């Protein structure tokens, strides 16, 4: 698990934490480093099960989740379902990250449950930063 100590205050004056969940160590660490450099605070998990453990631990005020959809143990979809059923996390904005082209049905599922989707194959750093900023701004 990786923790950063810098963050931007939310409307209550407390720092908002970004949860990053991806089974690819390099990508997870890259997303965390980029967001930390942008002044955000992050907490990371390698799969949905680990992320649920972080959420259930209640130590972090999660204001945004960046979730890879396809992971071993518990998938991103399982994590998203957990969050949407949780009174505490149901309104946390979610950015879905995927490496595979989604079918129409899967795309619709993402569109209904997540605020944004990004594809690993055509990753654009500026778009990533802008998407994060927009979701955090919408959540204030």
DSSP 3: B
> How many other CB atoms sit within 10 Å of the CB of residue 133?
13
Residue 31 counted as domain residue: yes
Mean pLDDT over 113-118 rounds to: 89
Mean pLDDT over 3-7 rounds to: 37
**81-106: per-residue pLDDT in tens?**
999 999 999 999 999 998 876 666 77
Residue 69 counted as domain residue: yes
Q: What is the CATH number of the domain that holds 96?
A: 3.40.50.2300
Q: What is the mean pLDDT of the chain?
A: 85
Question: What pTM value is reported for the model?
Answer: 0.85
Residue 24 counted as domain residue: yes
Residue 106 counted as domain residue: yes
Domain enclosing residue 115, as ranges: 17-130
Residue 95 counted as domain residue: yes
70: its two tokens: 């396809």
Residue 29 counted as domain residue: yes
Residue 33 counted as domain residue: yes
In the chain, the number of structural domains is 1
């Amino acid at each position: 698990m990786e923790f950063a100590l810098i963050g931007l205050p939310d409307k209550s004056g407390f720092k908002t934490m970004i949860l990053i969940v991806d089974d690819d160590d390099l990508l997870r660490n890259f997303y965390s480093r980029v967001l930390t450099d942008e002044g955000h605070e992050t907490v990371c998990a390698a799969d949905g099960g680990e992320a649920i453990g972080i959420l259930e631990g209640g130590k972090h005020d999660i204001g945004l989740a960046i979730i890879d959809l396809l992971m071993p143990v518990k998938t991103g979809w399982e994590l998203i379902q957990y969050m949407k059923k949780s009174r505490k996390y149901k309104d946390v904005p979610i950015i879905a990250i995927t490496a595979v082209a989604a079918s129409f049905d899967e795309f619709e599922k993402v569109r209904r449950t997540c605020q944004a989707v990004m594809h690993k194959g055509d990753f654009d750093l500026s778009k990533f930063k802008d998407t994060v900023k927009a979701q955090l701004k919408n959540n204030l």
